[in-house]
């Protein structure tokens, strides 16, 4: 079983839609959880991180962690074409572990 | 402020040729350094990480090697490239003092023909 699993997409939504991106992980020892955004031909950049179960909100983005089910979610409200990118999730353990990424396209 | 550089940005190499990719970090000291490969349509694969000069850990067996000759310099090498080595190579760093964010470089796109 892979440490982090993520639907690779692609996911296409109209502008203004609410987007839900999800990951599952296998190692219950993970404490930090990260979401990175990667634009085409660029390095990933940290979008959000959380340390515990529950929600964390930052503008249009909400990160949600459910440790009991080992499930990580990222919600994007009022999605914009500039949100079109690949979103990588990952818990931080001894070394960073990433999911394969979900490619999101927000259509104007 | 801290910055991370990678070069070259793009590289096209024939099969069997050697490889040397360089990564340098500015504005911090004693970072943990990482090399990742991202194949087309696939996620980030951790190749090597280093917690200090001369200290390299390999995550996957392959024909690549890494070296850290200076505190803020990380080099990825190969003696003979394979077609399967094509991909987007990313260098990243983390503060050793309990950092919770990994900072990525701009990447090197390698095409092996």
C-beta atoms of B90 and A32 within 8 A? no
C-beta atoms of A49 and B106 within 8 A? no
Of the candidates A32, A44, A100, the beta carbon closest to that of B42 is on A100
- Answer yes or no: are the C-beta atoms of A14 and A104 closer than 8 Å: no
Domains and CATH numbers, chain B: 3-95 (2.60.40.10)
Greatest Cα pair distance in chain B: 41
Percent with pLDDT over 90 in chain A: 49
For residue A51, give its domain range.
4-107
Any B CB within 8 A of A43 CB: yes
| Under-50 pLDDT residues of chain A | none
Compute the count of residue pairs across chains A and B with CB atoms less than 8 Å apart: 45
- What DSSP line would sit under B52-76, residue for residue? ETTEEEESS-SSEEEEEEETTEEEE
Query: Exposed, middle or buried by CB within 10 Å (0-12, 13-18, 19+), for A14?
Result: exposed
C-beta atoms of B109 and A49 within 8 A? no
- The tens-digit pLDDT sequence of chain B (113 residues) is 789 999 999 999 999 999 999 999 999 889 999 999 998 767 788 899 999 999 999 887 679 999 999 999 999 999 999 999 999 999 999 877 655 678 899 999 999 99
CATH, residue A27: 2.60.40.10
Query: Exposed, middle or buried by CB within 10 Å (0-12, 13-18, 19+), for B94?
Result: buried
Q: How many domains does chain A have?
A: 1
């Amino acid at each position: 079983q892979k440490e982090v699993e993520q639907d690779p997409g692609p996911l296409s939504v109209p502008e203004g839609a609410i987007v839900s991106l999800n990951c599952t992980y296998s190692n219950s020892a993970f404490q930090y959880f990260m979401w990175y955004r990667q634009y085409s031909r660029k390095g990933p950049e940290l979008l959000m991180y959380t340390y515990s179960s529950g929600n964390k909100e930052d503008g249009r983005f909400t990160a949600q962690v459910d440790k009991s089910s080992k499930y990580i979610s990222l919600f994007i409200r009022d999605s914009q074409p500039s949100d079109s990118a690949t979103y990588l999730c990952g818990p931080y353990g001894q070394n960073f572990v990433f999911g394969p990424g979900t490619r999101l396209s927000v259509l104007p | 402020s801290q910055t991370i550089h990678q070069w070259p940005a793009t590289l096209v190499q024939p099969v069997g040729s050697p490889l040397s990719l360089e990564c340098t970090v500015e504005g911090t000291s004693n970072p943990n350094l990482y090399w990742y490969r991202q194949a087309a349509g696939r996620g980030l694969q951790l190749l090597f990480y280093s917690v200090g000069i001369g200290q390299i850990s390999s995550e996957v067996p392959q024909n690549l090697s890494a070296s850290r000759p200076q505190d803020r310099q990380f080099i990825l090498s190969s003696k003979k490239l394979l077609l399967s080595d094509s991909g987007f190579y990313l260098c990243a760093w983390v503060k050793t003092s309990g950092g919770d964010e990994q900072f990525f470089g701009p990447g090197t796109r390698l095409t092996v023909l």
